[in-house]
């Protein structure tokens, strides 16, 4: 396969419509007869839902109907209000904690849906919300892991405990290793609650065709095929009667696209009133209704030899899960204990992870779930160990990074899901070397701890691996259009990462045609391939791209077969040249084969591991607690970069998200479970002026052996090590105060307090 387009920084074809304001996001859709849904959400964190009286709302002009749980307890719903099942790690222990699509006996978090108003406009619907009378008998709220662990107030009486599960990550015999260890260090650390806020809030539009018994749902993203399966079961329709359409999607980051209550409520509403219904989440809702993430506490202990070689890691992680187990809620809570060791060699590993249900917004994944948290813990420990043992912290990392000859290196196994994982390939130390070189570490590190012009300078370094390419399968289909161009249909989804261009590059090279012959790339919608999976765990290039390769092979085989017959020549003599099919001295335009289509697939059960190193140079104004980045370098090896321009975009984009989580973003609740960060003036996102000095270098030194492209999922590396790197830089800067940051985010008030406490 020639590589004309793979590896080239091709400008994205999807940019043209986005730049001209001609993207189609779900709120841009309009159909005749549309009703607008507005959701009444609980303002109480924990209570028994005694009654919902919507009669007042029904008298508001323009209100068509109000849906509550009562509408789902009819003969059509013999098992009552549907429950949203978990998609990943759907263990039986989690079942009692899954969320009903609408509150019906209890409310368990501020923001939980209680009723859905259907009205002629969103404004009228919001007016009507105020007329709905809700009676809730308040119960004591559980607003922290500590409070949850006491089990005084229990969210789910059926289980009697707020602990839904404990994961166990194990390798070797940690307790024995600790007994014999010459050096240990134990620390308690915390990461704050934040989430993958998307600039486009969520939205669903549902159209019910009662004549043909067909349901069309727009606003799908990430895992439309899986979501269709859930919806079909819940609403009592065969999957073939439901089409999920993915339009343009304004960001995902793990949070958008999972099955949320609204993904049932809106289609249900459309079917219930036999009118199309559209729901667009507003930002106030999004802050309290889109999956939260990352709130963990860890009590971890590391054991080393005197030369700094890590022997063992053990301890506990507690995750604040919010009120329900969401479709992918267990992922972060399992990843943190399992992958806390990151790129480091740790022979003995015993970390338990407790999942605590609290009266807060439920938790799901956010880019690098559990890995951001784990990296923070591990990197903080390593710098502390280095200082204790008098070993240079870079040298310490060198001694412990998994070596390139050690792949595949087996990571800890997580139970009860029997999750095994191993690295695939790579020279982790090489990215460390490259990062230090680009960062000019040799001279810049001399500034560590120095006070210059009123600011302390600090240097931090952190290494990471990023797991990607989750299987089990992905599909792609290539079809000849009437005009002889080719369309690629993908089972993966777009969340803005540039898949239309990337798949065109791969298909063009696989078929050896110019890229503009791949005229269209469609993605995500359930009507276009037989069996799709979606966009998550940085899999779109590896899984979707490899599926394209398989589809191209099958396409060429079919084309040769068809052309061989038409030309009366051997199949092996047939070639495709731009827009012509050439046989034994004769040719036909490709459009003569319009309709020819081949579907391919890629099956995979192993993860790719992209890897790299972060280095940060910061200054700290200790009197303000303000951190500024002077220079930040990320080096990431991605195995194979299909489009270097977009890969760099992923690294920088995910890095800035990581810096947001390290320094700015913090979802807060009071002790009564009242949600305090209700606007973008409270929940602070990075802006253009916050982190201007960032650089990244993408390398392709070690292709992945587990897929034909050699690529590795690379969308999450920039985020994983950001918290640990920044915290290490802060500790380095304030070393004269002996400050040890143990909590993220590193807000000015927190940094200032660290200095004050150190002065005491």
Partner 1 sequence: MAIKFEVNGKPAEVEVEPRLTLADCLRHHLRLTGTHVGCEHGVCGACTVLVDGKAVRSCLMLAVQADGAQVVTVEGLSRDEGLTPLQTSFRKHHALQCGFCTPGMITTAHALLSEEPDCDADRVREVLSGNLCRCTGYISIVEAVLEARAAYKKAAP
Partner 2 sequence: MKLPPFEYACPTSISEAVALLAGHDGEAKPLAGGQSLVPMLAFRVAAPSLLVDLRKLEELRQIRITQDGVALGAMVRWRDILEDARLATAHPLLVAAVEHVAHYQIRNRGTVGGSMAHADPAAEMPGIAVTCEAQISVIGKAGSRVIAAADFFQGPLMTALKADEIITEIRLPAWLAKHRFGFQEFARRRGDFALAAAAVFYDDDNGTARSAHVGVIGVGDRPMRLPSVEAVLNGQKITEAVIAKAEAAASAAVDPRDDIHASGAYRKALVGVMVERALKAATA
List interacting residues with partner 1 (CB under 8 A). 11-12, 14-25, 27-28, 30, 123, 197-201, 248-251, 253, 282-283, 495-498, 645-646, 648-649, 652-657, 679-681, 685-692, 694
Residue 684 lies near partner 2 (rule: CB under 8 A): yes
- Cα–Cα distances in Å, from 606 out to 167, 380, 469, 707? 21, 29, 8, 10
Q: Between 112 and 666, whose beta carbon lies closer to partner 2?
A: 666
What is the radius of gyration, based on Cα positions, of the chain?
27
20 CB-near residues (< 8 Å, 6+ apart): none
Query: Smallest gap, in angstroms, from Cβ of residue 273 to partner 1?
Result: 21
Q: Round to whole Å and give the CA distance between 144 and 27.
A: 36
Query: CB–CB of 661/722 below 8 Å?
Result: yes
Sheet with strand 694-699: strands edge to edge: 451-452, 455-468, 608-621, 626-637, 694-699
Considering the complex, state which of residue 15 and residue 135 has its C-beta at the smaller distance from partner 1.
Answer: 15
Q: How far is CA 425 from CA 308, 372, 432, 637, 703, in A?
A: 24, 21, 15, 10, 7
Q: How far is the CB of 194 from partner 1 (least distance, A)?
A: 12
Q: At what angle do helices 393-400 and 371-389 cross, to 10 degrees?
A: 120
Among 1, 58, 122, 558, binds partner 2 (CB under 8 A): 122
Six-digit token string for 655: 């890095």
Residue 111, token pair as written in the block = 């923001």
- Which residue from 687, 705, 736, 738 is in contact with partner 2, where contact means CB under 8 A? 687
Tokens of 734: 């304030």
Instruction: State the binding partner of 682 from partner 1, partner 2, none, CB within 5 to 8 A by kind.
Output: partner 2
356: tokens are 């605590």
**Is 283 one of the binding residues for partner 2 (CB under 8 A)?**
yes
Which is nearer to partner 1, 18 or 557 (by Cβ)? 18
Q: Is the dihedral of CA 532, 98, 294, 89 positive or negative?
A: negative
Q: Is 677 in the site for partner 2 (CB under 8 A)?
A: yes
Q: Residue 590 and residue 580: Cα distance in Å, rounded? A: 5
Closer by beta carbon to partner 2, 289 or else 480: 289
Binding residue (CB under 8 A) for partner 2 from 151, 676, 693, 736: 676
Q: Name the residue nearer to partner 1 (CB basis): 138 or 682.
A: 682
What distance in Å separates the CA atoms of residue 32 and residue 545, rounded to the nearest whole number?
Answer: 38
Which one of residues 664, 698, 714, 722 is an interface residue with partner 2 (CB under 8 A)? 664
Among 238, 679, 759, 760, binds partner 2 (CB under 8 A): 679
Note the helical H segments in 683-721.
Answer: 717-720
Residue reference for tokens 């799908």: 220
Q: Does 625 bind partner 2 (CB under 8 A)?
A: yes
Nearer to partner 2, 352 or 628 (CB): 628
Say which entry of partner 2, partner 1, none residue 645 contacts (CB below 5 to 8 A, set by partner kind). partner 1
Quote the least distance from Cβ 687 to partner 2, whole Å. Answer: 6
610 binds partner 2 (CB under 8 A): no
Q: Minimum distance from CB of 656 to partner 1 (Å)?
A: 3
CA distances from 253 to 149, 180, 368, 638, 649 (A): 30, 43, 9, 19, 14
Minimum distance from residue 192 beta carbon to partner 2 (Å): 12
Q: Which of residues 734-753 bind partner 2 (CB under 8 A)?
A: 747-749, 752-753
Q: How far apart are CA 610 and CA 48, in angstroms?
A: 47
**Residue 64 in the binding site for partner 2 (CB under 8 A):** no
Whole-angstrom distance, CA of residue 755 vs CA of residue 627: 13
Q: What contacts 24+ positions apart, CB below 8 Å, involve 668-671?
A: 668/193, 669/45, 669/143, 669/360, 670/143, 671/141, 671/143, 671/144, 671/147
- 8 touches partner 2 (CB under 8 A): no
What minimum distance in Å lies between the beta carbon of 641 and partner 1? 13
- Select the binding partner of residue 274 from partner 1, partner 2, none (C-beta < 5 to 8 A, by kind): none
What the block records as the tokens of 714 is: 């690379």
**Burial class of 688 by CB neighbour count within 10 A (0 to 12, 13 to 18, 19+):** exposed
Task: Extract the tokens encoding 543.
Answer: 């899984």
CB of 265 to partner 2, least distance (A): 19
Segment contacting partner 2 (CB under 8 A): 202-210, 366-374, 523-531, 675-683?
A: 675-683
Residue 699 near residue 434, CB atoms below 8 Å: yes
Residue 390 CB neighbour total at 10 angstroms:
8
Number of residues that bind partner 2 (CB under 8 A): 31
Determine if 690 is a binding residue for partner 2 (CB under 8 A): yes
- Our finding on whether 127 is near partner 2 (CB under 8 A) is yes
- Our finding on whether 626 is near partner 2 (CB under 8 A) is yes
**Residue 117 DSSP SS3:** strand
> From the list partner 1, partner 2, none, which binds 603 (C-beta under 5 to 8 Å, kind-based)?
none
Nearer to partner 2, 70 or 623 (CB): 623
118 versus 317: smaller Cβ distance to partner 2: 118
User: Which residues contact partner 2 (rule: CB under 8 A)?
Assistant: 121-123, 126-127, 282-284, 623-626, 664, 666, 668, 676-679, 681-682, 684, 687, 689-690, 747-749, 752-753, 756
């Amino acid at each position: 396969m020639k590589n004309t387009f793979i590896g080239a920084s091709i400008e994205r074809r999807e940019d043209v419509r986005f730049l001209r304001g001609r993207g189609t996001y779900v709120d841009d859709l309009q159909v005749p007869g549309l009703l607008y849904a507005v959701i009444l959400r609980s303002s109480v964190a924990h209570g028994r839902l005694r009654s919902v009286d919507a009669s007042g709302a029904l008298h508001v002009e323009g209100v068509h109907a109000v849906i509550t749980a009562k509408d789902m307890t009819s003969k059509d719903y013999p098992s009552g209000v549907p429950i949203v099942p978990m998609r990943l790690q759907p263990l039986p222990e989690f079942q009692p904690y899954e969320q009903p699509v609408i509150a019906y006996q209890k409310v368990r978090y501020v923001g939980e849906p209680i009723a859905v108003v259907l009205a002629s406009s969103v404004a009228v619907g919001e007016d009507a919300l105020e007329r709905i009378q809700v009676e809730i008998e308040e119960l004591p709220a559980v607003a922290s892991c500590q409070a949850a662990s006491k089990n005084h107030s229990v969210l789910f009486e059926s289980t009697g405990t707020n602990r839904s599960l404990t994961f166990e990550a194990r390798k070797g015999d940690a307790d024995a290793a600790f007994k014999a260890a010459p050096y240990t260090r134990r620390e308690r650390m915390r990461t704050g609650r934040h989430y993958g806020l998307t600039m486009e809030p969520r939205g669903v539009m549902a159209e019910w065709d009662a004549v043909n018994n067909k349901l069309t749902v727009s606003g799908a993203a990430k895992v439309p095929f899986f979501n269709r399966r859930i919806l079909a079961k819940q609403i009592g329709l065969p999957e073939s009667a439901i089409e999920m359409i993915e339009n343009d999607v304004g960001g995902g980051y793990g949070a958008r696209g999972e099955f949320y209550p609204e993904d049932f409520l809106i289609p249900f509403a459309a079917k219930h009133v036999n009118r199309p219904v559209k729901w667009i989440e507003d930002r106030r809702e999004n802050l309290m209704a889109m999956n939260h993430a990352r709130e963990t506490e860890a009590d971890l202990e590391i054991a080393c030899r005197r030369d700094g070689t890590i022997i063992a890691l053990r301890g506990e992680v507690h995750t604040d899960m919010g009120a329900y187990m969401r479709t992918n809620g267990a992922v972060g809570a399992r990843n943190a204990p399992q992958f806390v060791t990151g790129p480091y060699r740790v022979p003995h590993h015993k970390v338990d992870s407790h999942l605590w249900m609290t009266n807060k917004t439920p938790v799901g994944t956010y880019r690098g779930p559990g890995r951001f948290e784990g990296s923070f813990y591990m990197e903080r420990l390593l710098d502390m160990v280095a200082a204790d043992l008098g070993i240079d912290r870079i040298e310490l990392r060198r001694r412990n990074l998994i070596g390139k000859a050690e792949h595949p290196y087996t990571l800890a196994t997580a139970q009860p899901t029997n999750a095994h994982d191993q690295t695939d390939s790579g020279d982790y130390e090489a990215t460390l070397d490259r990062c230090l070189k680009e960062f000019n570490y040799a001279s810049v590190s001399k500034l560590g701890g120095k006070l210059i012009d009123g600011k302390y300078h600090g240097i931090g370094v952190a290494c990471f691996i990023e797991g990607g390419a989750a299987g089990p399968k992905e599909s792609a289909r290539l079809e000849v259009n009437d005009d002889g161009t080719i369309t690629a249909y993908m089972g993966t989804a777009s969340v803005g990462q540039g898949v239309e261009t990337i798949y065109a590059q791969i298909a063009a090279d696989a078929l050896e045609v110019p890229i503009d012959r791949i005229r269209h790339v469609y993605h995500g919608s359930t009507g276009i391939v037989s069996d799709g999976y979606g966009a998550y765990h940085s899999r779109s290039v590896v899984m979707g791209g490899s599926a394209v390769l398989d589809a191209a092979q099958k396409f060429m085989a079919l084309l040769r077969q068809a052309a061989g017959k038409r030309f009366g020549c051997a199949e092996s003599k047939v070639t495709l040249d731009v827009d012509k099919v050439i046989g034994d001295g004769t040719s036909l335009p490709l459009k003569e084969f319009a309709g020819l289509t081949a579907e391919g697939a890629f099956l995979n059960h192993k993860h790719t591991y992209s890897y790299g190193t972060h280095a940060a140079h910061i200054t700290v104004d200790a009197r303000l607690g303000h951190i500024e980045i002077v220079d930040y370098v990320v080096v990431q090896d991605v195995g194979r970069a299909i489009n270097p321009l977009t890969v760099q975009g992923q690294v920088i984009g995910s890095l800035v998200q990581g810096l947001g989580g390290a320094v700015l973003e913090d979802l807060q609740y009071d002790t009564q479970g009242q949600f305090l960060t209700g606007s973008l003036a409270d929940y602070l996102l990075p802006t253009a002026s916050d982190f201007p000095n960032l650089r990244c270098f993408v390398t392709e030194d070690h292709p992945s052996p587990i897929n034909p492209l050699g690529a590795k999922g690379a969308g999450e590396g920039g985020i994983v090590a950001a918290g640990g790197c920044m915290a290490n830089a802060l500790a380095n800067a304030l070393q004269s105060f002996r400050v040890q940051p143990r909590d993220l985010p590193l807000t000015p008030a927190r940094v200032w307090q660290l200095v004050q406490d150190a002065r005491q």
